[in-house]
């Protein structure tokens, strides 16, 4: 199987720094040209490698992205443009998601055991597959203006049942 896609140009250097390790761990061939990435290998290996590279492209460190080698972990990317936000409101929403000194982001990560990356116009989540829908819902609540305490209570209620 061969898969071609692009990642942001400013993330290419970071991807190149971990390409050799990624090739070894995923048993794939990876070529990076400009913003384009080409992966070759067995279908499941290619799909797993694509998720890892997309995670790097969405702002995760290679170490965090490699967590996706665990079959229990999945990547979810939320595009803030899908919520009809303007450039100005996207900046405000990102501020709500990050919080003062990263407090909101850190609290969601600690409560859910997930990893978050807020990069460009996206919010990306790496989490256990059984928790991903709850975490995504909590992020969407913040995007749509819910109060932080309401979101924390929602996470606590849903993840501790």
In which band, very low, low, confident or very high, does the pLDDT at 55 lie, cut at 50, 70 and 90?
Answer: very high
Domain 73-159 has CATH 3.40.50.2300: no
C-alpha pair distances (Å), 12 with each of 55, 68, 99, 148: 12, 19, 28, 34
First to last CA, the chain: 41
pTM score > 0.85 for this model? yes
Residues 80-103 have a mean pLDDT of 87
pLDDT at residue 38 in the model: 93
- CB atoms inside a 10 Å sphere around CB 33: 9
Give the start-to-end residue ranges of the domains of the chain.
2-69, 73-159
Angle formed at CA 6 by CA 65 and CA 79, multiple of 5 degrees = 70
Tokens representing residue 91 in the block: 């900046």
pLDDT at residue 85 in the model: 66
Q: How far apart are CA 122 and CA 107, in angstroms?
A: 19
Q: What is the pLDDT of residues 94-151, one digit of tens each?
A: 999 999 999 999 999 999 999 999 999 999 999 999 999 999 999 999 999 999 999 9
- Listed in order, strand segments (DSSP E) in 9-159 are 29-33, 36-40, 73-79, 115-119, 122-128
41-78 burial, b for 16+ CB within 10 Å, e for fewer?
beeebbbbbbbbbbbbbbbbebebbbbbeeeebbbbeb
Tokens representing residue 93 in the block: 């929403």
In which band, very low, low, confident or very high, does the pLDDT at 84 lie, cut at 50, 70 and 90?
Answer: confident
Superfamily of domain 2-69: K Homology domain, type 1 (3.30.1370.10)
Would you say the CATH fold of 73-159 matches that of 2-69?
A: yes
Share above pLDDT 90 across residues of the chain, in percent, rounded to a whole number:
81
Q: Is the pLDDT of residue 32 over 70?
A: yes
Q: Is the pLDDT of residue 159 over 70?
A: yes
In which band, very low, low, confident or very high, does the pLDDT at 35 lie, cut at 50, 70 and 90?
Answer: confident
């Amino acid at each position: 199987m061969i898969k071609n896609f692009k990642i942001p140009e400013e993330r290419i250097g970071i991807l190149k720094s971990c390409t050799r390790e990624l090739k070894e761990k995923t048993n794939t061939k990876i070529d990076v040209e400009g913003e384009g990435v080409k992966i070759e290998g067995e279908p499941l290996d290619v799909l797993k490698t694509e998720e890892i590279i997309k995670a790097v492209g969405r702002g995760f460190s290679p170490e965090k992205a490699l967590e996706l080698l665990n079959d229990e972990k999945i990547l979810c990317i939320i595009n803030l443009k899908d919520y009809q936000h303007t450039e100005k409101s996207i900046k405000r929403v990102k501020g709500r998601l990050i919080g003062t000194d990263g407090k909101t982001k850190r609290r969601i990560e600690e409560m859910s055991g997930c990893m978050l990356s807020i990069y460009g116009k996206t919010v990306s989540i790496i989490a256990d597959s059984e928790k991903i829908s709850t975490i995504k819902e909590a992020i969407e609540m913040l995007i749509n203006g819910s109060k932080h305490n309401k979101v924390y209570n929602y996470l606590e209620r849903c993840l501790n049942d």
